[in-house]
Amino acid sequence: MLRRLFKDFHPSLVFAVVGLAAIGMFFIYSASFHDPGHYEVKQIFWIAIGLMIMITVAYTGYRPFLSMAYLFYGFSIALLILVHLIGSTHLGAQRWLRFGPVVIQPSEFAKLGTLLALVNYLGTRNPLQGQFSVILGAVAIVAVPLVLIIKQPDLGTALLFIPMLAVVFFLWGIQWRFLIISALGVLAAMPFVWEMLKDYQKKRILVFLNPNLDPLGSGYTAVQSKIAVGSGELFGKGYLSGTQTQLHFVPEHHTDFIFCVIGEELGFIGSLLVLCLYAYLFHSIFAIMEHTTDIRAKLLSGGVLALFLGHVLINIGMTIGLMPIAGVPLPLISYGGSSFVMNSIALGLVLSVYKERSIF
């Protein structure tokens, strides 16, 4: 039975997932043990739920998900519209839906719903038989949730759709000229997106370009998180001993800024450990992609990988001033049920690709 399990589940991917989740649990504790929330206990619960969901999805296989892709897509669009109407506002943004005790973040579901719809749409169309209209269709599929999420406003999450779309297009076999035209199109859309942004978002981007613009206002978080990570130096200040995070100089340190805790308390060694685990995860996904001949499976795995990479790049990048401050969690590490469950579903789909490699 156990051997069967190992045969079915790509061991290095599972190892990477468990490793990252464990790091997350330890540092959620470090970030919040002063507070009464018991977030690490809640996270253990979410990790358990997530792993069960991952296994379930892996056994279910990706095909049923793809066949219901438009249903998921429509559902997540509906949730995004709902969040505009009745969503609860937190930190100036409408991102959450509350159903009794359960609070969900529809944009998390929209990422996966959109990916499934996109993969299903492109996977059934041959890139060698006229690309232009197909590309327009794919862009439209992505554009609807993208605009809704920008409107929330949640610029960080919205940004993640772009690398996802690019990778899926790329693997599908988009012609270089269309890829370049799309890239130009994205650039051309920038001024319009800028107009849609709220003032605080514009300020964040301006401050990102010049952190000295407002060191005590919106630049404060950027400066403090960089100090936190940098002050870890090579070996860190020791577990539970980070002053920047323990003394609340960095906000949101069990969710979006958890990397500050790791960087400060474990230093560059810890940062490298986290990056290596992500690299290992991505390497596993690539390995799985190599063994499938189903174009849809390949596109799906590539899209999942792009989503993960986008999260990692924006999240770690913002703590060291490489990216503007955005409310994007660090996948599998940051505290949060919606995020962990969605990541589990996504990785479950990738695992099912591996499991079904023997089908051909």
Cβ proximity of 94 and 83 under 8 Å: yes
CB nearer to another protein: pick between 89 and 243? 243
227 binds another protein (CB under 8 A): yes
17 binds another protein (CB under 8 A): no
- Name which position in 65, 249, 340, 354 contacts another protein (CB under 8 A): 249
Site for another protein in 103-162 (CB under 8 A): none
Taking the C-alpha atoms of residue 344 and residue 99, their distance in angstroms, rounded to an integer, is 21
Taking the C-alpha atoms of residue 169 and residue 131, their distance in angstroms, rounded to an integer, is 10
| 3-state DSSP assignment of residue 88 | strand
Two tokens at 254?
A: 């069990």
- Name which position in 87, 153, 263, 303 contacts another protein (CB under 8 A): 263
The order of strands in the sheet holding 93-99 is 88-90, 93-99, 102-104
CB nearer to another protein: pick between 66 and 274? 274
Please spell the DSSP secondary structure of 207-221, one letter per residue: HHH-GGG-TTTTHHH
- Name which position in 1, 85, 209, 247 contacts another protein (CB under 8 A): 247
Residue 174 region by backbone torsions, left for phi larger than 0, else alpha for psi between -120 and 50, else beta? beta
Span from 81-89, 149-157, 232-240, 344-352 in contact with another protein (CB under 8 A): 232-240
305 binds another protein (CB under 8 A): yes
Taking the C-alpha atoms of residue 45 and residue 340, their distance in angstroms, rounded to an integer, is 11
Taking the C-alpha atoms of residue 228 and residue 245, their distance in angstroms, rounded to an integer, is 7
267 binds another protein (CB under 8 A): yes
Span from 93-101, 142-150, 153-161, 241-249 in contact with another protein (CB under 8 A): 241-249
289 binds another protein (CB under 8 A): yes
Binding site for another protein (CB under 8 A): 167, 170-171, 173, 216, 224, 226-234, 243-244, 247-249, 263-264, 267-268, 271-272, 275, 278-279, 282, 286, 289-290, 302, 305, 309, 312-313, 316-317, 320-322
